[in-house]
Amino acid sequence: MFSPEEWLDSLTPVAAWRLLILGLICIASSNWLFQANGINNVGLFYMLPICVACWRFGFKTAMGIAVAEIALSAATFLSASGHLDTSAMVELVMQLIKLGCTAAVVSRFRQGFDRERLLARRDWMTGILNRHEFQRQAEAMLASATTRHHSLLLVYFDLDGFKAVNDEFGHQAGDRLLQCLAEKGKSLIGPADCFGRMGGDEFAVLMELTKTERALEVTAQLHLGFTAALESTGHRVTCSMGAVVALSSNDASLHELMRQADQLMYAVKRDTKAGFRLAGHAPPFDVDFLLSPRQQTCSHQSHG
């Protein structure tokens, strides 16, 4: 079930503007009725559109709404009494100040909310997705890819020799190495793809494949890119990688895909390290590949 802030954020800009305009019309109509009956204390209701506008569109838009509300209030005064006296003008100015203060408070709260939400979804050291957020976004990607009949590539890898860096050069050197790897990863994947730190020196990537046949090429590019990033740190650290192609025709869960990619990764660590193994999750793309940059060999085995 959506919380109020999640519901507001889920609205399209057009829907949010419709909500604001409808709210202004309702409040202005109520204000006119109350003024006609001698009731003046309805300014509090004008704060609701201010809060919505500030939360959804920002401080400047909220202040624009505030000016529109003051104009509506002035029109209501004129309609009810036929003139604007000094007390009415003072009341309108005070109302504008109150609305401005409300917008400022909501704006600061929104900034803090966004900052805390970002920190809750990101790994504190590398700035990429943490495990929980990676899994959440990956689940959404998997559901969308199934609906649109697209294939995905899930890559799971960890670092070979990372512990030796921490032991010999200290944890600060290890932290810098992880940060360098994360920065490189951001340049290797698209904005719609997922890249997260699963914990320690383990990472995962989930990306959409334009063509299933490019799975080997894309996996090799990722492995070479991350290998180059590790080499640039000056430490003798490599990465072992397991990758799985998730076909749109298959209903495999994210948990199952990650389990298989994890098994492939550990198979590489046992065999050669510094390589990757790729497998299709279901026929007809049920092929394993092994690539070791050190040996520069590639072998594959088909399963009927």
Active site residue 123: no
Q: Structure tokens of 236?
A: 């003798």
- Out of 123, 158, 193, 201, the active site residue is 201
CA dihedral over 66, 71, 77, 80, signed as positive or negative: negative
Task: Please report the DSSP string for the chain in residue order.
Answer: ---HHHHHHHS-HHHHHHHHHHHHHHHHHHHHHHHHTT----GGGGHHHHHHHHHHH-HHHHHHHHHHHHHHHHHHHHHHHSS--HHHHHHHHHHHHHHHHHHHHHHHHHHHHHHHHHHHHB-TTT-SB-HHHHHHHHHHHHHHHHHHT-EEEEEEEEEESHHHHHHHH-HHHHHHHHHHHHHHHHHHS-TTSEEEEEETTEEEEEEEES-GGGHHHHHHHHHHHHHHHHHHTTS--EEEEEEEEE-TT----HHHHHHHHHHHHHHHHHHTSS-EEEEESSTTS-EEEEEETTTTEEEEEE--
Question: Which residues share a beta bridge with 240?
Answer: 158
Examine residue 284 and say whether the peptide bond preceding it is cis (omega within 30 degrees of 0).
Answer: yes
Question: Which residues share a beta bridge with 219?
Answer: none
Q: Structure tokens of 112?
A: 């803090």
Q: Name the residues annotated as catalytic.
A: 201
